[in-house]
């Protein structure tokens, strides 16, 4: 193989967007890690691992969960998002990223695994043209909706600083939010972060973030009319003060 053959430097990475939910704050969460190795040391980004020779991409995605936070999940909770193969996505060598989304029905305590200095749950908020990821005094954002993917990759070097996530993770996250938002009316798998069952109030709280609307603006009766066909009623929520709420699960 010739030395200038770029395929000699090709690596395939698995990148996982791990969603969860904080029942206390009513906030959607995404897991970010602070890297400890290579040129991305001390920078925050999505959990990433290299694809091993003895595993397929789905197995690698689930292994990433086990290694980073010590949880074993069934395939049902993980789905493929997209492949990112732009030649400029890494400034070291050619990298292809296979991206997945994982839905955690609980918010487990985190222990930084191999290649990470820290791992934290970032709360999701929103502004007009992007979503915000917040933890204490740290704030990152998805790529601005007005910036095209081509413009982003052509100017990637200006994003290589402590104010931005590593590589093209801001673009990956933007697509993840778009995918979830576009499917809310027919395949809202994001509700898996609420567990095996949920109330309509909890579902509205999740929807409100992606719709960029205060939950108070989403009328419960209208929401039931437009989205009840996506859920199956399974019983009542007991043990809390006030009138028991109906419980639902995804169809």
* 3-state SS, residue 137: coil
Band the pLDDT of 74: cuts 50, 70, 90.
low
Q: Which of 62, 43, 57, 58 is nearest to 168 (CA)?
A: 43
Span 85-103, mean pLDDT? Answer: 86
d(CA 71, CA 74): 10
- Alpha carbon 134 to its chain centroid, in Å, reads 14
Average of pLDDT values for 188-192? Answer: 96
101 versus 109: which is more confidently predicted?
Answer: 101
**Is residue 24 classed exposed, middle or buried when 0-12, 13-18 and 19+ CB atoms within 10 A define those classes?**
exposed
Distance CA 180, CA 186 (A): 10
CB neighbours of residue 236 within 10 Å: 11
Q: Distance (Å, rounded) from C-alpha 200 to C-alpha 114? A: 39
Q: Is 49 within 8 Å of 116 (Cβ atoms)? A: no
Average pLDDT over every residue of 92-105:
88
Domains and CATH numbers, the chain: 6-182 (3.90.79.10), 197-250 (1.10.10.10)
Confidence of residue 119 (pLDDT cuts 50, 70, 90): confident
pTM for the model: 0.89
Q: What are phi and psi of 55, to 5 degrees?
A: -145, 155
Confidence bin at 186 (pLDDT 50/70/90): very high
Report which of residues 69 and 169 the model is more confident about: 169
Res 8 pLDDT > 80 = no
Of residues 103 and 72, more confidence is placed in 103
Instruction: Determine which of 109-113, 168-172, 245-249 has the lowest per-residue pLDDT on average.
Output: 109-113
Per DSSP, 152 falls in state: H
């Amino acid at each position: 193989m010739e030395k200038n053959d770029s395929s000699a430097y090709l690596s395939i990475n698995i990148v996982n967007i791990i969603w969860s939910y904080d029942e206390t704050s009513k906030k959607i969460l995404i897991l970010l890690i602070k890297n400890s190795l290579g040129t991305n040391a001390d920078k925050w980004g999505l959990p990433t691992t290299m694809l091993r020779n003895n595993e397929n991409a789905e197995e690698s995605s689930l292994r990433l969960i086990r290694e980073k936070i010590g949880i074993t999940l069934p395939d049902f909770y993980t789905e493929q998002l997209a492949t990112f193969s732009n030649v400029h996505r890494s400034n070291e060598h050619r990298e292809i990223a296979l991206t997945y989304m994982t839905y955690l029905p609980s918010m487990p305590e985190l222990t930084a695994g191999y290649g990470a200095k820290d791992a934290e749950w970032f709360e999701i908020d929103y502004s007009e043209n992007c979503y915000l990821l917040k933890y204490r005094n740290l704030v990152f954002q998805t790529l601005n909706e007005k910036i095209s993917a081509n413009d982003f990759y052509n100017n990637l070097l200006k994003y290589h600083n402590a104010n931005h996530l590593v590589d093209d993770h801001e673009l990956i996250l933007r697509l993840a939010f778009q995918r979830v938002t576009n499917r809310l009316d027919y395949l809202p798998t994001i509700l898996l972060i609420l567990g095996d069952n949920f109330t309509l109030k909890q579902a509205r709280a999740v929807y409100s973030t992606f719709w960029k609307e205060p939950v108070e603006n989403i009328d419960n009766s209208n929401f039931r009319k437009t989205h009840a066909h996506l859920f199956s009623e399974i019983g009542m929520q007991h043990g809390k003060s006030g009138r028991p709420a109906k419980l639902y699960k995804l169809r």
